[in-house]
Structure 1
Amino acid sequence: MKIKTLLATSLLAGTALFAGNYNVDPTHSSADFSVKHAMISTVKGNFATFSGNFVYDEATKTLKSLNGTIQAATIDTGIKDRDDHLRSADLFDVAKYPTITFVLDEIKGDKAYGKLTMKGVTKPVVLAFENGGAATDPYGNKRVGLGLTGKINRTDFGISWNKALETGGVIVGEEVKIDVALEGILQK
């Protein structure tokens, strides 16, 4: 019995040796979104400044943890007036709520379960998860690629400003599509 316990402990310890801490490389990552405008077209944007870290077990090819922070004031849709309005108290209220955060709870198959916090409201979300795997770059750095995509309802997070259209409907859709591509660098 002791030999089995020792063997199991050794295997678990060996697996832990392959798990590494990775910092998100913002030059090879993106935090993008899209939302319907006037119910007829789609506006796309991104957040320019974000950071994060995760633990990835290369032996089992599994993500163990993930934490990310977006600087809400860096929202960019390519139109200054619209971006200023998005930063205002009507929508993201970046003066009061400067960050958006995501904390992973668990991965089950191709789904990532976690908690998203925007405008001071934390809600559970389920996102599609893509494990891009690991590679070593030409400079000897170990890298891992991950993807998270999905949809949220912005009003669930208190981002509810809108205007009615004469033709029916509203100016800004409630459903927001999220597309996050992360590349992390192993910390030595």
Structure 2
Amino acid sequence: MNNTNWSIDNAHSEIAFKVKHMMISTVTGHFEDFQATAKTHGYNFNNASFQFSAKTASINTKNKDRDAHLKSDDFFNAEKFPELKFTSKSFNGDELIGDLTIRDVTKEITLDVDFNGIAVDPYGQTKAGFEITGKLNRKDYNLTWSAVTEAGSIVVSDTVKLVIDVQLIKQS
């Protein structure tokens, strides 16, 4: 069977993260500039290969000061490290394993995947939908800035939850 190429439908996808703030609330952010592709055997996504990248300067948490801090060397250093990247190693339909590179650190990460199926939209495009979740320790990727409040609360949690909703378009 021939390989099938897929690309991300940016209008119907979101790459988001959630981080505890002061350990009492959760801040959600996302990347606005991202790309992704997949290669499958026909329409079978088992053992598909996935590539993903996001521009770190496109981070958006709905707070300009916080976004500027996240783009600084305390976190992503968007000037020196303009992209974060993910390259898959394996996908079995439920788990996506691959290498995630943030800044100058590459580590293997396992993501949980709900494959929502394949459908043809009203314009004749074949699309595939996924809900992907996972966790990482930000300090593993040299995102090490930390502070403690006067009351002793940690300002930013080390644990980052990933919430990724992806729609792929089959390429002709």
Counterpart in the other structure of 2:85: 101
Counterpart in the other structure of 2:168: 184
Structure 1 residues 154 and 140: alpha-carbon distance in aligned structure 2, compared to 1, 3 A threshold: same
Q: CA deviation at 1:166?
A: 1.9
TM-score normalized by the length of structure 1: 0.87
Task: Specify which of 13, 35, 38 is matched with residue 54 of structure 1.
Answer: 38
Q: Which amino acid counterpart does residue 25 of structure 2 have in structure 1?
A: S
Structure 1 residues 107 and 83: alpha-carbon distance in aligned structure 2, compared to 1, 3 A threshold: same
Query: Is the counterpart of residue 140 in structure 1 residue 116 in structure 2?
Result: no
Structure 1 residues 153 and 141: alpha-carbon distance in aligned structure 2, compared to 1, 3 A threshold: same
TM-score normalized by the length of structure 2: 0.95
CA distance in structure 2 between the partners assigned to 1:76 and 1:164 by the alignment? 23
Structure 1 residues 139 and 81: alpha-carbon distance in aligned structure 2, compared to 1, 3 A threshold: same
For the residue of structure 1 that corresponds to 2:77, the secondary structure is: coil
Q: Which amino acid counterpart does residue 172 of structure 1 have in structure 2?
A: V
Please list every run of 5 or more consecutive structure 2 residues that lacks an aligned counterpart in the other structure.
Answer: none
1:128-148, CA deviations, whole angstroms, 9 ceiling, x for partnerless residues?
011122111111111111222
Q: Which has the higher mean CA deviation after the structures are superposed, 108-117 or 46-55?
A: 108-117
For the residue of structure 2 that corresponds to 1:70, the secondary structure is: strand
Task: Specify which of 113, 116, 124 is matched with residue 97 of structure 2.
Answer: 113
Where do 1:123-162 residues align within 5 Å?
123-162=107-146
CA distance in structure 2 between the partners assigned to 1:58 and 1:169 by the alignment? 51
Structure having the higher Rg = 1
1:121-166, CA deviations, whole angstroms, 9 ceiling, x for partnerless residues?
1000011011122111111111111222110000000001011222
Q: Which amino acid counterpart does residue 96 of structure 2 have in structure 1?
A: A
- Count of equivalent residues: 172
Please list every run of 5 or more consecutive structure 1 residues that lacks an aligned counterpart in the other structure.
Answer: 1-15
Task: Specify which of 37, 50, 64 is matched with residue 80 of structure 1.
Answer: 64
CA distance in structure 2 between the partners assigned to 1:126 and 1:63 by the alignment? 14
Q: CA deviation at 1:31?
A: 0.2
Percent sequence identity over aligned pairs: 36
Structure 1 residues 117 and 61: alpha-carbon distance in aligned structure 2, compared to 1, 3 A threshold: closer
Q: CA deviation at 1:108?
A: 3.2
Q: CA deviation at 1:28?
A: 0.7
Q: CA deviation at 1:46?
A: 0.5
- Contact 2:47/2:92 (8 A) holds in 1: no
